[in-house]
Structure 1
């Protein structure tokens, strides 16, 4: 093979090995899909929501006809942030995790309990149990305010895990196979020192080629 490599020659190499490139790309895509489908443990996620108020509903109903002011909202949000710290470090709450990944976050005075794991029913049970036990933690730590459940966790669809994404993994395999096959094709051409029946001689020795002897065996 000549020493100089041009874009045109690379394209010619890829066209010459197009079947190999397509085959290896499809094999990698299929391999990634099968691995994702049968060897990666499906993971499911669900969530429940709580609310925190820095006042009691009965006492608030007796003030200004039960109206809620911005100071009440900001105060409830601050109370929710402080409450989450106790919630995350409560032994009675962490004992309910049951091997699941639990995330507790707040948006203003709303608290979201997100649970992910390999079993959809367990995820829903853990999220709901945490919400049910959250009231006891609140009563232990705060002498004012209240907490309640806005939304209970539902059991995720067993046929729709959030990971693995089989289609995404198959596309990743396709891209990896495509890149690998292109690199292998170019590498094989670089290490191939045989003279091909084309313009190799002219490029190597800078002399014109007037004719070639055909291979009668083929």
Structure 2
């Protein structure tokens, strides 16, 4: 059992030495991976921008069809339910088609719907409309057009509703994606992992004779003679003729 553990330890040390001998390959692959992923994120991926508008929902008395009910501002769960209802109206075909027409957008209903997300802010009666677009000016235009049209659409569906604009959208100054830093870090890690993986595989499949210890532990045979190679002073650079002869006899 102890012998197996020693063999594993020696193998790990051999792999570590192999990685160190080829550290130049690791460094080169890390640099190449970093440059490739940085260039990909910086120049090939189309940046996306987000523009946000915020709206406030207040209803003291509502009626949906023949059903009437009232809520107070302190009923948080009712407010959340109400916000979800208005988000559904926001993403309806009727509302978004009106936005497309007013803003003169080159999108279909489905395309525009995929560009819009909305959610309550901290579980309150305020909800945020987020428009993601490759054009920052267009993102701001869409968000503000929705903020102008949505109160009318809600009032036409839910009686007694009151929706007001809390904050208009502005033109975003910076893209939200891609994250150049994230892609660069991925390239750095990929370069390191791939290069180390190649070195480890090469070392595991390397069956060449390395030194005396390798012969003793791998084949458990005595070494009759070691003939050093002229001009080589480092350990392990020998011609194992005596071993080959002994192996042939056995």
TM-score (norm 2): 0.70
* 1:125 maps to 2:141: yes
- Pairwise CA distance, 1:73: 4.2
- Pairwise CA distance, 1:188: 1.2
For 2:188 and 2:212, the matched residues in 1 are separated by 33
- Pairwise CA distance, 1:36: 1.0
Matches within 5 A, 1:91-102: 91-94=94-97, 96=99, 98=107, 99-100=111-112, 101-102=115-116
Q: Which one of the candidate residues 155, 172, 186 is aligned to 2:171?
A: 155
- Pairwise CA distance, 1:197: 5.3
Question: Aligned with 1:71: secondary structure?
Answer: coil
- Pairwise CA distance, 1:91: 1.9
In 1, are the aligned partners of 2:60 and 2:72 still within 8 Å (CA)?
A: no
For 1:195 and 1:81, the matched residues in 2 are separated by 71
Partner residue, 2:36: 31
* 1:21 maps to 2:26: yes
Partner residue, 1:213: 228
Matches within 5 A, 1:100-139: 100=112, 101-106=115-120, 107-139=123-155
- Pairwise CA distance, 1:103: 0.7
Q: Which runs of 5+ in 2 are unaligned?
A: 1-6, 62-70, 101-106, 233-250
In 2, are the aligned partners of 1:93 and 1:134 still within 8 Å (CA)?
A: no
Matches within 5 A, 1:54-65: 54-55=59-60
- Pairwise CA distance, 1:84: 2.4
State the 4+ residue runs in structure 1 displaced beyond 6 angstroms.
none
In 2, are the aligned partners of 1:76 and 1:108 still within 8 Å (CA)?
A: yes
TM-score (norm 1): 0.80
Moved more, 88-97 or 114-123: 88-97
- Deviations 1:97-132, CA, capped at 9 Å, x for gaps: 644510122232112101111111111111000000
In 2, are the aligned partners of 1:25 and 1:177 still within 8 Å (CA)?
A: yes
In 2, are the aligned partners of 1:88 and 1:104 still within 8 Å (CA)?
A: no
For 1:102 and 1:216, the matched residues in 2 are separated by 73
Q: CA RMSD in A?
A: 2.6
Change (3 A) 1:170 1:104: same
In 1, are the aligned partners of 2:99 and 2:149 still within 8 Å (CA)?
A: no
Report the count of equivalent residues: 200
Q: Which one of the candidate residues 81, 84, 91 is aligned to 2:84?
A: 81
- Deviations 1:43-96, CA, capped at 9 Å, x for gaps: 11121001111149xxxxxxxxxxxxx823436554333322222224232553
Partner residue, 1:72: 73
Question: Aligned with 1:113: secondary structure?
Answer: strand
For 1:25 and 1:209, the matched residues in 2 are separated by 45
Change (3 A) 1:54 1:200: same
In 2, are the aligned partners of 1:48 and 1:113 still within 8 Å (CA)?
A: yes
Question: Aligned with 1:179: secondary structure?
Answer: helix
